[in-house]
Chains A and B, each alone.
Chain A
Amino acid sequence: DVVLTQTPPTLSATIGQSVSISCRSSQSLLDSDGDTYLNWLLQRPGQSPQLLIYSVSNLESGVPNRFSGSGSETDFTLKISGVEAEDLGVYYCMQATHAPLTFGSGTKLEIK
């Protein structure tokens, strides 16, 4: 199975600060169809996960543009440009290129 390693495991930020989360894959996530199926999700406390970014860098409808994704092959980054209070929670990367689909272990964002 593909292992996704997220760093850091926890992140503490002040409102307005920009932060980045890394997700490294044990295998290339470039699919034979040319797409890279790496998504980012946010799970707020007590809520279901929410899709933020799909296919590395595509912003899901309704998601603020302070969120952005980048990367290729095995190294990916989620950036939040100007953290807001509502951004607290656990961020997960997930891959859907290789079966079975797998998730990272999560990065918990705390607001100082």
Chain B
Amino acid sequence: QVKLLQSGAALVKPGASVKMSCKASGYTFTDYWVSWVKQSHGKSLEWIGEIYPNSGATNFNEKFKGKATLTVDKSTSTAYMELSRLTSEDSAIYYCSSYPFAYWGQGTLVTVSS
């Protein structure tokens, strides 16, 4: 059974960074791109970027270049996304997805507040 298990909710201060994880199981992690998607409260979905676990190659939405950093740990089948210089505009639920888009994590809620 394929699962993407994301890390728990985070409350972070403005200007800080946050790193979240997405642990894959039930399929060959290195075979499929992992995408990250942002959903602000009550709004639609935004594609942040993607990473290919086998090589570490990445593609980004220009809007999120400099904001998001994508990495993977092949040994644990885990993808990571770090968001930097956080503002209130970064408060959202962040999803990872793979296979492509057939599998989704449960989402990580990030709240940026002092």
B63 contacts which chain A residues (CB < 8 A)? 100
Q: How many residues of B contact A (CB 8 A)?
A: 20
Q: How many residues of A contact B (CB 8 A)?
A: 20
Q: Report yes or no: B107 in contact with A48, Cβ–Cβ below 8 A.
A: yes
> Complex Cα distance A51/B47, Å?
15
- Among A41, A49, A60, A100, the one with the most B-chain Cβ atoms within 10 Å of its Cβ is A100
Question: Per a CB cutoff under 8 Å, which of A48, A96, A106 touches B105?
Answer: A48
A39 contacts which chain B residues (CB < 8 A)? 101
B105 contacts which chain A residues (CB < 8 A)? 48
B35 contacts which chain A residues (CB < 8 A)? 101
A41 contacts which chain B residues (CB < 8 A)? 101
Q: Report yes or no: B102 in contact with A102, Cβ–Cβ below 8 A.
A: no
Q: List 16 extra interface pairs beyond A61-B102, A94-B101, CB under 8 A.
A: A41-B101, A48-B104, A49-B95, A49-B97, A49-B104, A51-B102, A54-B101, A54-B102, A60-B102, A92-B45, A94-B45, A96-B101, A99-B59, A101-B35, A102-B47, A105-B44
Q: List 20 A-B contacts (CB under 8 A).
A: A39-B101, A48-B105, A48-B106, A48-B107, A49-B95, A49-B101, A50-B104, A51-B102, A94-B101, A96-B100, A96-B101, A99-B59, A100-B63, A101-B35, A101-B47, A103-B44, A103-B45, A103-B46, A104-B44, A106-B44
